[in-house]
Amino acid sequence: MQLLEGKKAAIFGVANDRSIAWAISEALHGAGAELAFTYAGEVLEKRVRPLAEGIGAHIILPCDVTKDEDIEKVFATLKQEWGGLDILVHAIAFANKEDLSQAYVRTNREGFHLAMDVSAYSLVALARHAVPLMEGRNGSILTMTYMGSEKVIPNYNVMGVAKAALEASVRYLAYDLGPQGVRVNAISAGPIRTLAAAGISGFKDMLHHVSERAPLKRNIDAEEVGKTALFLCSDLGSAITGEVMHVDAGYNIMGM
């Protein structure tokens, strides 16, 4: 029997076939889970739909996580089609490009609110709608973060602040939802060449820096994040909640 046979998983945040969310999707699908996908806008739909259909997904829905009505429609469809939900993967983050290139102190109120809304509050909003569908199913909620939440990463700026809020949300949600049997965790992945990473100035230098200094002397790949996600979302991680698990070749342990 496969680890996730009979399980239902909703994936938010696939951008293309090189995204971490897609690597997680492949790992969950390979373990037997049935998947549903969302996309934000027509451009992303053109990338997400072929991938989703390629692994037999039938639920592929639009969702702007800054709009409560969009979130409500997604979970109403999941309830109607599946009757319940076992796994929620939140791999959504966004900040204005200028806020990732200028000094953090220059972040304006609108840019700060946008980064926090999309990158942090959206986890709370999705979890609130997912939990009723996870009743009696030992549900698992997983989000994606980065070490820029803990340490200063040049040019990560407001996104680092948003990720710090996201990680705090993981802990508070784990506390809130634990009595209902729902686990909430985060993976803090090392730098990987993705569409999101392309927006960070100096990203190539970041890759080189990490590969030189990480204990394993290399960068990681998205497949390694997918395998960790499978562990956390399956019964293998049944006693783990409220954690931020680093998948970064050990880079986070280094002081100098």
**Residue-level pLDDT, tens digit, the chain, 256 residues:** 799 999 999 999 999 999 999 999 999 999 999 999 999 999 999 999 999 999 999 999 999 999 999 999 999 999 999 999 999 999 999 999 999 989 999 999 999 999 999 999 999 999 999 999 999 999 999 999 999 999 999 889 999 999 999 999 999 999 999 999 999 999 999 998 776 666 566 778 889 899 999 999 999 999 999 999 999 999 999 999 999 999 999 999 999 8
pTM of the model: 0.95
- How far is the C-alpha of 255 from the C-alpha of 235, rounded, in Å? 34
Order across the sheet with 140-145: list the strands.
Answer: 59-62, 34-39, 8-12, 87-90, 140-145, 183-189, 244-247
Q: What are phi and psi of 103, to 5 degrees?
A: -60, 145
Q: Is 146 a catalytic residue?
A: yes
Which residue out of 39, 121, 156, 172 is catalytically annotated? 156
121 carries an active-site annotation: no
CATH 3.40.50.300, applies to 8-253: no
Catalytic residue among 39, 104, 146, 175: 146
Q: How far is it, in rounded angstroms, from Cα 10 to Cα 181?
A: 18
The partner residues of 61 in beta bridges, in order of sequence, read 38
Nearest in space to 209 (alpha carbons), one of 218, 200, 201, 199: 218
